[in-house]
Amino acid sequence: MVSTPEQRELICRARNGDKAAFETLIGPQLDRFYGLAYQLIRNEDDAADVVQEALIKAYRSLGSFRGDADFFTWMARILRNTVLDELKRAVRRHEEPVETLPESLDRSLEGKAEQKELREIVHGCISQLSSKLREPLVMFDIEGYSYEEISQILGINIGTVKSRLNRARESLRQKLNKQRNRLAGWVKVSDELPAS
Amino acid sequence: MNCQQVEPLLGSYLDGPSELGKVNFAKVEEHLGACRACSTSLDDLRWVIAQLKAQPRIKAPEDLAARLHRRLALEAEPPRENWLVRLQQFINWPSLAVGAVVAAGVMFFVLRGPQPVVGIYASAVPIDQNVAVQIAFEVDEDVQGVTFDIRLQDGLRFVDSRGQPLQTQQVAWRGELRRGKTVVPITVRGIRPGRWEILAVVRKNQLARKTHIIIPVRAQRSGNISVGEG
Ligand SMILES: [Zn+2]
């Protein structure tokens, strides 16, 4: 994966201080950056702050971007590190792990209450996963990152990405299974979870 | 295979025979045909993945781009005259170095006519000690649009602002040279004994000038200079 010629041109201009070029570069990726930050932090305001902080960091360190690397994964790596810092800070601030049930769900969604509850339960279980398992799960299954991208962002090989992803899914299945009684109300008969 | 063996393989099973290998895939399949509990687990896993894939894609708040724009506007633009500031972001300065200044490479840079490659030898430095190196560029007139490129051989690493070695072994940036002498201080560390080279290249259009600075790195214990492939 390499940057396209257009990206390279923009990167070159951004490195020389052209802020508009930098904004043109990252504009189309904002949703993906925000989505990732949100899924890992589960708080809208914090996610927006973290994305902004990460992008400023990236702008400042454009000089260290290697031309042969993929720009998106380079940025996502900076974002991921900023998210981790934020999560550590949050732990210190509240002296409690952030891996509790999320309070905030996408407010823009006007879906059925049951769907919302389902999502809450799923996310509650995701947030109980260790970050080692949660990251590849969120990136691959929710945010649609490729194995290759995840491998580069997390700095682990593709085999490890796959095995962590499978462990994460399996662990999630077991956690959801324990929530059977909460799920029972709306799970379709054909999809019904077995008694464990 | 029994249930305990099959359960952790279900995820890979969903990815197909290429993930699990044909033999294991067939074994899991055989077990699934005979075991209701495991095939239900597999259905659950499919359901879990479907739930995840069905999570709504979150869009960035509408004002995020505008907020970023305002925030960027406050960012100091890397000043063209003072391009050294750019270098400072990822290379350490001598004042922050742990070790002493032991090497000084001086490069006289004139953008006219052919010029031989300059090689400078520093005295040997111990392994794992940070070493400040000054690379000087000298020109007799202002030169715009110059590319600077500094590369380290295998046994050397750049050092970050906390004095820790970085993975990076090459930095390149664009800038200007002002008339007179410009000194670029960098800090490196020898991580393996040998005679290692810092290659500094300055380019302007098709012209390039190279300086090789040789840093002999000696193993701490022996105190001898061991000669590597340099
Ligand atoms: Zn079984």
The answer to the question of residue A195 being in a domain is: no
Do A167 and B10 count as a contact with CB atoms less than 8 A apart?
no
Same domain assignment for residues A96 and A2: yes
Token pair recorded at residue A143: 């945010």
In a domain, A193, yes or no: no
Per-residue pLDDT of chain A (196 residues; tens, 9 = 90+): 456 777 777 887 887 778 888 999 899 889 999 999 998 888 889 999 999 999 999 988 887 776 667 788 888 989 999 998 888 877 665 544 333 333 222 332 334 456 677 778 888 889 889 989 999 999 998 888 899 999 988 989 999 999 999 999 999 888 888 776 665 544 433 344 444 4
Q: What is the pLDDT of residue A165?
A: 93
- Residue A42: what residue type? R
Q: What is the pLDDT of residue B122?
A: 63
Question: A119 with A145, same domain?
Answer: yes
Residue A82 in any domain: the answer is: yes
What pLDDT score does B158 carry?
Answer: 85
Q: How far is B84 from chain A (nearest CA, A)?
A: 11
What 8-state DSSP symbol labels residue A130? -
Give how many domains chain A has, as a whole number: 2
User: Closest Cα of chain B to A130: distance in Å?
Assistant: 17
Together in a domain, A109 and A94? no
Residue A95 falls within a domain, yes or no? yes
A194 within some domain: no
Q: What's the one-letter identity of residue A170? A: E
Q: Distance from the CA of B48 to the center of ligand 1, in angstroms? A: 19
Question: Which contacts qualify for B95-99: CB closer than 8 Å, 24 or more apart?
Answer: B96/B161, B96/B162, B96/B163, B96/B187, B97/B130, B97/B131, B97/B132, B97/B159, B97/B163, B97/B187, B98/B129, B98/B130, B98/B163, B99/B125, B99/B129, B99/B130, B99/B131, B99/B132, B99/B189
Instruction: Tell me the CA distances in angstroms from A76 to A42, A79, A137, A150, one per residue in order.
Output: 17, 5, 15, 9
Give the percent of chain B with pLDDT over 90.
10
CATH code of the domain covering residue A67: 1.10.1740.10
Which of the residues B12, B36, B42, B44 would you substitute to probe the A interface, choosing the one with the greatest number of A C-beta atoms within 10 Å? B44
Inter-chain residue contact A39 with B67, CB threshold 8 Å: no
Is the CB of residue A25 less than 8 Å from the CB of residue A92?
Answer: no
- pLDDT > 70? residue B152: yes
ipTM confidence:
0.74
Average pLDDT of the segment spanning B100-120: 41
Smallest CA–CA distance, residue B51 to chain A, in Å, is: 8
Residue-level pLDDT at A2: 53
Whether chain B has a CB inside 8 Å of the CB on A142: the answer is yes
Domain of A120? 104-187
Q: pLDDT digits over B17-73, tens only?
A: 887 888 999 999 999 999 998 988 888 888 888 888 887 778 899 899 999 998 888
Name the nearest CA neighbour of A16 among B92, B145, B169, B170.
B145
Per-residue pLDDT reduced to its tens digit, B158-192 = 877 667 788 878 887 777 777 776 777 677 888 99
Contact A34 B77 (CB under 8 A): no
Structure confidence at residue A55 (pLDDT): 93
Verify that A85 and A114 share a domain, yes or no: no
* A99 backbone dihedrals φ, ψ, rounded to 5°: -75, 55
Which chain A residue lies closest to B55 (C-alpha atoms)?
A142
Which residue of chain A comes nearest to B160, CA vs CA? Answer: A64
Residues A122 and A65 in one domain: no
Task: Give percent above pLDDT 70 in chain B.
Answer: 67
Domains belonging to chain B, first-starting first, are 3-53 (no CATH), 83-229 (2.60.40.10)
Among A44, A68, A100, give the residue marking a domain's end: A100
CB spacing of B11 vs A166 below 8 angstroms: yes
**Residues B138-158, mean pLDDT to the nearest whole number:** 81
Last residue of some domain: A73, A100, A127? A100
Distance of CA B36 from the midpoint of ligand 1 (Å): 7
Is the domain of A55 the same as that of A114?
no
Report which of residues B194 and B227 the model is more confident about.
B194
Q: State how far the Cα of A19 lies from the Cα of A42, in Å rounded to an integer.
A: 29
Q: Are A112 and A157 contained in the same domain? A: yes
Token reading at B142:
């202002």
Residue A57 in any domain: the answer is yes
**Rounded mean pLDDT of B121-149?**
74
| CATH number of the domain to which A133 belongs | 1.10.10.10
* Distances, alpha carbon A127 to alpha carbons A36, A99, A102, B54, in Å: 14, 5, 8, 17
Residue A196 forms part of a structural domain: no
Q: Are residues A95 and A109 both part of a single domain?
A: no
CB B163 within 8 A of CB B95: no
Predicted confidence (pLDDT) at residue B7 exceeds the cutoff of 70: yes
Distance from CA of A193 to the nearest CA of B (A): 6
A49 and A23 both lie in a single domain: yes
DSSP-assigned beta bridge partners for residue B207: B204
Nearest to B68 among A17, A55, A109 (CB): A55
User: If you measure from the C-alpha of residue B4 to the centroid of ligand 1, how many angstroms do you get, rounded to a whole number?
Assistant: 7
Q: Which of A14-28, A120-134, B115-129, B203-217 has the lowest mean pLDDT?
A: B115-129
Contact A191 B43 (CB under 8 A): yes
CB contact at 8 A, A178 and B24: no
**Which of A100, A129, A154 is the C-terminal boundary of a domain?**
A100
Nearest chain B residue to A119 by CA: give it: B55
- Gap from B149 CA to chain A (nearest CA, Å): 12
A125 in the same domain as A173: yes
Same domain, A89 and A2: yes
Whether A43 has its CB under 8 Å from any CB of chain B: the answer is: no
Q: Are residues B147 and B111 in contact, defined by beta-carbon separation less than 8 angstroms?
A: no
**Yes or no, beta carbons of A166 and B77 under 8 Å apart:** no
